[in-house]
């Protein structure tokens, strides 16, 4: 299907036929109603202002529809001209789109809700004038009252009427290309009715071929006060080009760009010919003519269609390809002609794998004599700039249509792909998804790819929790990649795709990094989240996010929801897709030889200065031979080098060799005080003698059984005559891991060499209690020949081999402070009481334990923490009490713009912070806005607006003398609302002679409301239809500030009981006969309610003649029927 420029209206069939009847030809025209929508709209339905959200498939259920609210018009000043907005979605009042008409189909002439404003809320008439390159069979079609449609060919003259609410009858009178819209009785047409009517006027061009060019529709409105306005719909009738998808290929190890031209196979369909060009790459205009980074390489596409693509040979996914596997790098491009009509195409670069030999690189490690005598590592993992990720790996693909039947839900399923078990878990805590959510759609196309996993949500409320698909692999997989498709936006508040993509490994909560390429119209929001701002076309590679993980993962989590611009309480339905997922397995490289001998692999062999075992998977263990004469003679700070060659081999039997190089460091004088460790009584100069730094009281640096292994690491004699608690897997007599007696914190550095024996971030020299000056854990000043700092021996006791203080044991549990994580046994670890960081609350500085997140230097000082080893804190040795909440706060319900407080009562707390819940986390409050006293036990809320309704608060109470825990109050909720109707009594009935008095809101005297003073307003007068007496029911509304309202009524009786007045006319004398009766002789007739009517009643003669006396009677009657008679004597 063609795609034009950003203002082009895509034409989509709703698969519902209608019959269009021409006014001048009653022959049925079997036409199909196509609905048009802008690239950034959704599909209109055929009934009024309802919209379909998205179609999954014409054969499947159509998703529920939603209604657009009719726009309101602003209050206008008298004599202001009306306004007409034909396109409410974009700025301005005009509507412009590009269109490829199809024979037998019609299209909307307005977009979204038409919006009209006028002085009186009505329009007296409207006209539509069509100009431009008009074909013979162009027309308007309007739904007829009797069914079907009325057809108005622009070459004909027609008149039709359409019944509307309230008895209105709209008439459309056509003279050629001019159309006049009026009400048949000249009644002004309400704005809302005319808005609806303009929205159902459809345009069509039945010519084949049709004429390209602009059609201009001038919509003119005339209001009842003489004002008028004109807005336009501009229809650019065009023939769009056809972009044919392109393909090329390149080898994974190619360093030479491949070239081509994406326009070569594209077609210009414009009459007379046109020039095609490339206007966008991945919907980014700025990417044309510049180097654009793709997922697996880079491409430069010129406007003339020529391109140059260079594969990224350093990409782990590319480097991992073998000769039997390949990857596709997908690039969307836009082909456009000079009129702005365009189509999308896809350039697919297939990257063909090649078989690369393994790359062996020298590996280095070290041991320290008497301190760290064992080195471990992996000679394969260390090779290459990115480790084993550069090695060839087998490629696996999860192809939805191969693994699931069409429409099948994937949640709860397990599949095995190339030996990898893949589990699928669907989570939808809010029930946002419908029956199609997280199902395999095997025959549909999305993002230019056929067959995909569908996300489909349509909840009844907003916001909702994410619907998630969790994919668990039973082993780490490498270089995972896939497409997320159809991420776009309604350009309103009803739907907007948002997706969060995260991968995890080894149970770590920290997401694994990945590379991505997004097409235009997608925003990267941070935290691995993306949302749409444009419109995706299912057949093309638009609205796509291309993902490639850079490190192995064993879990993939894809979360789907509405984007930030969706504010509707009942949002519309929306969909997105996930393409096939591919990954690469573990490498197949092994160690085939050690020191040139295959049999050495997996076995311990002697080296120059020790013993080495290298296994086939690359793991190795090196143990220093401390009885080796060269090692025993190694001076402090001197080094020896022990080198062993090894060979790597891959599955194709390619090999490469390198060396494992072990550097041996002489460190027998650990503290550098020129006293050898074997005679140094304080090997780390922390002021604690070595014998006091273990529970046995033995010298850890001595060799009790003279086997060449020092007591602290001797597996069969720890200096006490007994064996320590340790393992010796290789039976070399050396503990693989030290007994806790000698290494309390199990960081591999024995206590007597460890300046922080419990890894709590406090130097042993501080916790010991000698109170002497220390720098970086080492006691300052001179050191005697016994290796003990003089400062802890006292004057005269230097070189005595003793210390002059007792080690501090604050809780008297026989475990000295420097070895204990909670010295005062108050339940709060020393690291916290010292003011340092311990996020996992295990008592160690920083996070983790040694070997799992925590690292130390050669002195046993923690190097992975963010703080530590500074200052002192008396709380470390002084027991404290945790803060608590003794009286919880309670919920509060108040009227808008009033005040309230929340209060708590605490114990053992001296610091307070009130917090507000933001929907996902808690924010600390500051003294601003409606909030004050936010750092006290009472939170004050002043002039709370309705917008604060539903706010949730809590208090965090803490203690400066107990830092381990804080007290958190219960959550409380603020309710700011007024749902109570005001009150008022009906005003007293009144009686009037002539007419009802002017409405007067002061007759309602007792109006009242719980949240303020309500407003009284006149509503209506309703007559009972009688006269004299006439009873009028007058209604007043009583409304409070929240809109709660009641009505009260007053009965007004109109009864005119007063007769009119008039005087008898003056007597007259006539000669022959009485003159004709003349009511004007009554000259002073009057009435209290208006002017009465005088009428002749009768003439009565006295029966005489000449003279004859006639009594003439006139009646004087008022509108209520009250009447008197007056008489005139005629002689």
**Average pLDDT score over residue span 591-602:** 96
The Cα–Cα gap between 97 and 410 comes to: 41
How many whole angstroms separate alpha carbon 888 and alpha carbon 969?
Answer: 6
Residue 236 has pLDDT above 70, yes or no: yes
**Residue linked to tokens 């719980």:** 1010
How far, in Å, CA of 483 to CA of 496, rounded?
18
Q: What confidence score (pLDDT) does residue 411 get?
A: 96
- Reference 318, options 393, 398, 382, 247; nearest CA is 393
H-only helix segments in 3-91: none
Q: Residues 58-106: pLDDT tens digits?
A: 222 222 222 333 333 344 455 789 999 998 777 889 999 888 888 878 8
Mean pLDDT, all residues of the chain: 87
Tell me which CATH code domain 395-584 carries.
2.60.120
What per-residue confidence (pLDDT) applies to 383? 53
How high is the pLDDT of residue 371?
61
Pairing relationship of beta strands 590-594 and 581-584 according to DSSP bridges: unpaired
- Helix H or strand E encompassing 522: strand 522-526
**pLDDT band at 52; cut points 50, 70, 90:** very low
Domain locations along the chain? 9-237, 246-352, 364-391+589-665, 395-584, 884-976, 990-1054, 1079-1130
Question: Is the predicted pLDDT of residue 8 greater than 60, yes or no?
Answer: no
The residues, ordered by sequence, that sit 6+ positions from 652 with a Cβ below 8 Å of its Cβ are 355, 357
pLDDT higher than threshold 70 for residue 54: no
At 14 the pLDDT is 27
H helices, E strands: number in the chain:
6, 71
Q: Do domains 246-352 and 395-584 have the same CATH topology?
A: no
pLDDT cut 70: percent of the chain above it: 89
The residue among 637 and 367 whose pLDDT is bigger is 367
Residues whose CB falls within 8 Å of the CB of residue 365, separated by 6 or more in sequence, listed in order: 375, 376, 377, 622, 660, 661, 662, 663
| pLDDT at residue 56 tops 50 | no
Model's pTM, two decimal places? 0.49
Fold entry, domain 246-352: Immunoglobulin-like (2.60.40)
Taking the alpha carbons of 387, 388, 392, 393 in that order, is the dihedral positive or negative? negative
Q: What is the DSSP letter of 671?
A: T
Q: Of the candidates 450, 431, 432, 430, which has an alpha carbon nearest to the alpha carbon of residue 441?
A: 450
Query: How far separated are the first and last CA of the chain, in Å rounded?
Result: 105
pLDDT tier for residue 29 given thresholds of 50, 70 and 90: very low
pLDDT, tens digit (0-9, with 9 covering 90-100), for 134-159: 999 999 999 999 999 999 999 999 99
Residue 1095 has pLDDT above 60, yes or no: yes
Cα separation, 182 vs 141, in Å, equals 17
CATH architecture of 364-391+589-665: Sandwich (2.60)
Buried b (16+ CB within 10 A) or exposed e, 86-102: bbbebeebbbbbbbbbb
193 DSSP assignment:
H
Task: Give CA–CA dist 115/348, Å, rounded.
Answer: 45
Most confident of 180-184, 318-322, 535-539, 682-686: 180-184
Coil/strand/helix, residue 637: coil
Q: What is the pLDDT of residues 923-946, one digit of tens each?
A: 999 999 999 999 999 999 999 999
Question: Is the CA virtual torsion 512, 518, 524, 529 positive or negative?
Answer: negative
DSSP single-letter state for residue 1061: B
Query: Which of 75-89, 353-367, 599-613 is the least confident region?
Result: 75-89
Question: What are the residues whose beta carbons fall under 8 Å from the beta carbon of 258, sequence distance 6 or more?
Answer: 248, 249, 250, 308, 309, 349
Rounded CA-CA distance 948/970 in Å is 19
Tell me 783's DSSP state. B
Give yes or no for residue 384 having a pLDDT over 60.
no
- Smallest CA-to-CA distance from 710 within 745, 757, 670, 657 is with 670
Can the peptide bond before residue 1029 be classed as cis, meaning omega within 30 degrees of 0?
Answer: yes
The conformation of residue 730, written as its DSSP 8-state character, comes to T
Confidence class for position 316, pLDDT limits 50, 70, 90: confident
CA angle (335 as vertex; 332, 339 as ends), nearest 5: 145
pLDDT confidence bin for 873, thresholds 50/70/90: low
pLDDT greater than 50 at residue 652: yes
Top-confidence range, 32-36, 381-385, 1053-1057: 1053-1057
Which whole number is the average pLDDT over 804-819? 93
Query: If you classify domain 884-976 with CATH, what class do you get?
Result: mainly beta
| 816-834 tens-digit pLDDT | 999 999 988 888 899 988 8
The CA distance from 552 to 381, in Å, is 13
Task: Round to whole Å and give the CA distance between 1015 and 1007.
Answer: 8
731-769 pLDDT tens trace: 888 998 899 999 999 999 999 999 999 999 999 999 999
Answer for the pair 39, 6: CB distance below 8 angstroms, yes or no.
yes
pLDDT computed for residue 875 by the predictor: 62
d(CA 951, CA 977): 12
pLDDT of residue 564: 96
Q: Which of 217-231, 624-638, 1079-1093 has the lowest mean pLDDT?
A: 624-638
pLDDT at 779 over 80: yes
Who wins on pLDDT, 369 or 117?
A: 117
In this predicted structure, what is the pLDDT of residue 709? 86
Identify the pLDDT of residue 269.
Answer: 84
- pLDDT for position 98: 85
pLDDT given for residue 382 in this prediction = 55
Average pLDDT over residues 40-52: 26
């Amino acid at each position: 299907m063609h795609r034009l420029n950003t203002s082009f209206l895509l034409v989509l069939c709703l698969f519902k036929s209608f019959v269009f009847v021409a006014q001048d030809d009653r022959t049925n025209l079997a036409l199909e109603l196509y609905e048009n929508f802008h690239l950034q709209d959704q599909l209109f339905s055929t009934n009024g202002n309802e919209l379909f959200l998205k179609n999954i498939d014409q054969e499947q259920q159509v998703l529920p529809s939603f209604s657009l609210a009719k726009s309101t018009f602003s209050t206008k000043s008298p004599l202001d001209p009306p306004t007409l907005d034909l396109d409410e979605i974009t700025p301005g009042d005009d509507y412009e789109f590009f269109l490829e008409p199809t024979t037998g189909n019609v299209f909307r002439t307005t977009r979204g809700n038409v919006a009209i404003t006028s002085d009186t809320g009505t329009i007296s008439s409207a006209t539509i004038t069509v100009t431009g390159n008009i074909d013979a069979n162009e027309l308007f079609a309007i739904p007829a009252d009797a069914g079907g449609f009325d057809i108005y060919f622009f070459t004909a003259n027609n008149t039709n009427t359409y019944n509307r609410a309230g008895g209105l009858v709209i008439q459309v009178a056509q003279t050629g290309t001019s159309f006049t819209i009026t009400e048949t009785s000249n009644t002004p047409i309400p704005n809302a009715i005319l808005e609806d009517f303009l929205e159902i006027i459809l345009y069509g061009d039945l010519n084949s071929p049709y004429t390209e060019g602009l059609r201009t529709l001038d919509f003119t409105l005339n209001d009842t006060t003489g004002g008028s306005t004109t807005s336009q719909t501009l229809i650019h009738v065009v023939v769009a080009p056809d972009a044919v998808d392109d393909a090329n290929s390149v080898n994974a190890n190619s360093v030479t760009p491949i070239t081509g031209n994406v326009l070569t196979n594209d077609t210009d369909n414009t009459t007379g010919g046109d020039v095609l060009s490339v206007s966008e790459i991945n919907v980014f205009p700025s990417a044309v003519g510049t180097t654009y980074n793709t997922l697996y390489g880079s491409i430069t596409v010129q406007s003339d269609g020529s391109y140059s693509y260079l594969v990224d040979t350093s990409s782990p996914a590319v480097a991992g390809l073998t000769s039997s596997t390949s990857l596709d790098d997908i690039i969307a491009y836009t082909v456009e002609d000079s009129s702005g009509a365009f189509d999308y195409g896809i350039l697919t670069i297939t990257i063909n794998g090649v078989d690369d030999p393994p790359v062996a690189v020298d590996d280095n490690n070290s041991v320290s004599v008497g301190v760290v005598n064992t080195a471990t590592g992996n000679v394969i993992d260390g090779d290459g700039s990115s480790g084993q990720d550069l090695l060839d790996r087998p490629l696996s693909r999860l192809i939805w249509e191969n693994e699931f039947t069409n429409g099948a839900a994937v949640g709860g399923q397990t599949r095995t792909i190339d030996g990898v078990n893949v589990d699928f878990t669907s989570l939808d805590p809010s029930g946002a998804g419908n029956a199609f959510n997280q199902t395999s759609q095997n025959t549909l196309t999305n993002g230019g790819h056929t067959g995909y996993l569908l996300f489909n949500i349509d909840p009844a409320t907003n916001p909702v929790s994410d619907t998630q698909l969790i994919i668990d692999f039973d082993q780490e997989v490498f270089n995972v990649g896939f497409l997320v498709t159809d991420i776009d936006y309604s350009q309103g508040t009803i739907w907007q795709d948002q997706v969060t993509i995260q991968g995890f490994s080894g149970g770590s909560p920290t997401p694994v990094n990945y590379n991505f390429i997004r097409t235009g119209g997608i925003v990267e929001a941070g935290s691995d989240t993306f949302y749409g701002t444009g419109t995706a076309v299912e057949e093309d590679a638009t609205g796509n996010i291309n993902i490639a993980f850079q490190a192995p993962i064993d879990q993939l989590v894809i979360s789907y929801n509405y984007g930030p611009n969706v504010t509707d309480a009942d949002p519309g339905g929306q969909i997105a897709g996930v393409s096939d997922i591919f990954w690469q397995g573990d490498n197949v490289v092994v160690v085939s030889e050690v020191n040139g001998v295959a049999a050495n692999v997996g076995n311990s062999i002697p080296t120059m200065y020790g013993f080495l075992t290298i296994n086939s998977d690359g793991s190795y263990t090196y143990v220093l031979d401390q009885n080796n004469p060269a090692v025993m003679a190694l001076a402090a700070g001197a080094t020896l080098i022990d080198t062993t060659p090894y060979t790597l081999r891959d599955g194709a039997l390619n090999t490469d060799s390198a060396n494992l190089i072990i550097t041996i460091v002489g460190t027998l004088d650990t503290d550098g005080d020129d006293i050898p460790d074997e005679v140094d009584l304080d090997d780390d100069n922390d002021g604690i003698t070595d014998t006091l730094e273990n529970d046995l009281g033995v010298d850890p640096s001595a060799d009790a059984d003279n086997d060449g292994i020092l007591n602290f690491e001797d597996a069969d004699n720890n200096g006490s005559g007994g064996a320590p608690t340790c393992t010796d897997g290789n039976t070399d007599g050396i503990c693989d891991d030290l007994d806790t007696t000698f290494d309390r914190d199990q960081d591999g550095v024995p206590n007597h060499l460890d300046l922080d024996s419990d890894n709590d971030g406090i130097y042993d020299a501080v916790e010991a209690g000698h109170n002497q000056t220390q720098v970086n854990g080492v006691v300052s000043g001179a050191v005697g020949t016994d290796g003990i700092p003089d400062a802890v021996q006292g004057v005269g006791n230097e070189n005595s081999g003793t210390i002059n203080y007792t080690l501090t044991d604050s809780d008297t549990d026989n475990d000295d402070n420097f070895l204990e994580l909670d010295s005062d046994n108050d339940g709060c670890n020393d690291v916290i009481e010292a003011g340092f960081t311990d996020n996992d609350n295990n008592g160690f500085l920083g996070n983790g334990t040694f070997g799992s997140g925590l690292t130390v230097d050669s002195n046993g000082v923690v190097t992975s923490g963010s703080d530590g080893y500074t200052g002192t804190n008396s709380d470390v040795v002084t027991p404290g009490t945790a803060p608590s909440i003794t009286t919880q706060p309670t919920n509060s319900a108040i009227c808008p713009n009033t005040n309230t407080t929340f209060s708590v009562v605490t114990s053992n707390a001296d610091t307070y912070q009130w917090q507000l819940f933001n929907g996902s986390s808690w924010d600390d409050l500051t003294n601003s806005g409606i909030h004050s006293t936010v750092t006290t036990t009472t939170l004050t809320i002043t002039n709370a607006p309705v917008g604060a309704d539903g706010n949730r608060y809590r208090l965090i109470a803490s203690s400066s003398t107990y830092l381990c825990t804080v007290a958190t109050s219960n959550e409380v909720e603020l309710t700011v609302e007024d749902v109570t109707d005001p009150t008022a009594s009906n005003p007293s009935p009144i009686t009037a002679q002539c007419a009802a008095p002017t409405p007067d809101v002061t007759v309602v005297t007792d109006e009242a409301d719980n949240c303020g003073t309500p407003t009284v307003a006149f509503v209506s007068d309703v007559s009972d239809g009688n006269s004299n007496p006439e009873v009028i029911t007058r209604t007043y509304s009583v409304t409070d500030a929240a809109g709660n309202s009641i009505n009260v009524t007053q009965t007004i009786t109109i009864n005119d009981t007063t007769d009119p007045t008039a005087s008898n006319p003056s007597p007259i004398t006539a000669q022959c006969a009485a003159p004709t009766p003349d009511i004007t002789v009554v000259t002073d007739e009057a009435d209290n309610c208006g002017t009465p009517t005088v009428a002749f009643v009768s003439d009565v003669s006295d029966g005489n003649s000449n003279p004859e006396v006639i009594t003439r009677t006139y009646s004087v009657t008022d509108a209520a029927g009250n009447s008197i008679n007056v008489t005139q004597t005629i002689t």
